[in-house]
């Protein structure tokens, strides 16, 4: 059985390498090269067809590219980053022992909770540990759980607080950073907080930045945090 699993994973890795990002053939999740746990989680959550931003973004995300994504509220940006997060850690055979693999920053507690709920739904068949870091509990309580998490969804202020004050907090292994609602993160005055967080993280990583609008502040943040990004945006028909 172990050999079978290894072969399946090698196949999946090959299929992802073979993705042709110029073809937009990937209109259903079933057509994408996805692991069984993600495919099953999406199906159980009744997600079948990709939205436009997902069609444009997910193939690049799976291939490991940085992404600067813009699409209005309600267009499905959450899955556009959560699917690559789950898949890219899975293909790296990420386990509990590997520590923090992905950090997802969201401007508000409410939005962070929403992302976490979607992650729990579509990630239900994965074995990753995932946590919310949004304050509301004592730092000490959060701290104890932090060290065991593979994926964290957090608000910027609280995350930086842990980076500064939690001695055992480790992000040396981090593979992916997601900045969701980057325009709101900037509008809420988190610019220097996010800069400081990014400073703490390994430079070798994949970064996915999503926002509803493209503003000067967002492009400033993109310049600081992304490397050679793919630009994906969905414009409304005029
Ligand atoms: P955004 O972050 O762009 O505002 P969300 O990720 O919150 O958008 O998604 C908006 C709504 O669309 C949610 O209710 C979500 O469940 C739904 N949705 C997202 N992707 C799909 C999909 N591929 N198929 C059906 N519904 C989807
Ligand atoms: Mg969103």
* Domain boundary assignment for the chain: 2-233
Mean pLDDT over 80-84 rounds to 98
Mean pLDDT over 110-125 rounds to 98
Mean pLDDT over 89-115 rounds to 96
Q: What percent of the chain has pLDDT over 70?
A: 99
- How many angstroms does the Cα of residue 73 sit away from the middle of ligand 2? 6
- Confirm if 50 and 72 have CB atoms less than 8 A apart: no
CB 50 near ligand 1, within 6 Å: yes
Q: How far is Cα 108 from Cα 134, in angstroms, rounded to an integer?
A: 8
| Residue predicted with more confidence, 167 or 15 | 15
CB 46 near ligand 1, within 6 Å: no
CB 75 near ligand 1, within 6 Å: yes
Give me the pLDDT at residue 167, please: 80
162, 183, 169, 228: which is closest to 71 by C-alpha? 183
Mean pLDDT over 52-78 rounds to 97
- Confirm if 135 and 160 have CB atoms less than 8 A apart: no
- How do the residues of the chain divide into helix, strand and coil, expressed in percent and rounded to 5? 50, 15, 40
CB 88 near ligand 1, within 6 Å: no
- How many angstroms does the Cα of residue 88 sit away from the middle of ligand 2? 20
- Confirm if 133 and 162 have CB atoms less than 8 A apart: yes
Give me the pLDDT at residue 202, please: 96
Give me the pLDDT at residue 237, please: 56
CB 74 near ligand 1, within 6 Å: yes
Q: How far is Cα 222 from Cα 198, in angstroms, rounded to an integer?
A: 11
**For ion ligand 2, residues whose CB falls within 5 Å:** 77
- Rg over alpha carbons for the chain, rounded to the nearest Å, is 17
Q: Say whether pLDDT at 196 is over 90.
A: yes
- How many angstroms does the Cα of residue 28 sit away from the middle of ligand 1? 14
Mean pLDDT over 202-225 rounds to 96
CB 155 near ligand 1, within 6 Å: no
Q: Say whether pLDDT at 1 is over 80.
A: no
Tokens of 95: 């386990």
**Strands ordered across the beta sheet of 102-105:** 130-133, 151-154, 102-105, 176-179, 206-211, 67-70, 230-233
Q: Is 148 exposed, middle or buried (0-12, 13-18, 19+ CB in 10 A)?
A: exposed
Q: Is 145 exposed, middle or buried (0-12, 13-18, 19+ CB in 10 A)?
A: middle
- How many angstroms does the Cα of residue 181 sit away from the middle of ligand 2? 6
CB 127 near ligand 1, within 6 Å: no
> Which residues touch 163 (CB under 8 Å, ≥6 apart)?
169, 171, 196, 197, 200
Which residues partner with 103 through β-bridges?
Answer: 152, 177
Q: Say whether pLDDT at 95 is over 80.
A: yes
pLDDT in tens, 12-48: 999 999 999 887 779 999 999 999 999 999 999 999 9
Q: How far is CA 24 from the centre of its chain?
A: 21
Give me the pLDDT at residue 144, please: 81
137 — pLDDT class (breaks 50, 70, 90): confident
The dotted CATH code for 2-233 is: 3.40.50.300
Q: What string of DSSP letters covers 124-135?
A: TTS---EEEE-S
């Amino acid at each position: 059985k172990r050999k079978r699993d290894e072969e399946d994973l090698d196949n999946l890795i090959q299929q992802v390498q073979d993705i042709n990002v110029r073809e937009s053939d990937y209109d259903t999740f079933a057509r994408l090269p996805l692991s069984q746990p993600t495919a099953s989680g999406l199906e159980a959550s009744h997600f079948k067809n990709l939205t436009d931003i997902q069609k444009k973004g997910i193939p690049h995300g799976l291939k490991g590219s940085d992404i600067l994504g813009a699409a209005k509220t309600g267009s499905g940006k959450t899955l556009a980053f959560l699917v690559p997060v789950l898949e890219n850690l899975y293909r790296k055979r990420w386990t509990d022992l590997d520590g923090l693999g992905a950090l997802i920053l969201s401007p508000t507690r409410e939005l962070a909770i929403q992302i976490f709920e979607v992650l729990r739904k579509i990630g239900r068949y994965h074995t990753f540990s995932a946590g919310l870091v949004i304050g509301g509990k004592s730092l000490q309580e959060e701290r104890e759980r932090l060290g065991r998490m593979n994926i964290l969804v957090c608000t910027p202020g609280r995350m930086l607080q842990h980076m500064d004050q939690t001695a055992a907090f480790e992000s040396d292994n981090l593979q992916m950073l997601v900045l969701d609602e980057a325009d709101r993160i900037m509008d809420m005055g988190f610019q220097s907080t996010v800069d400081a967080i990014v400073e703490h993280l390994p430079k070798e990583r994949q970064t996915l930045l999503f926002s509803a609008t493209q503003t000067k502040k967002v492009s400033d943040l993109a310049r600081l945090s992304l490397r050679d990004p793919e630009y994906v945006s969905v414009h409304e028909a005029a």
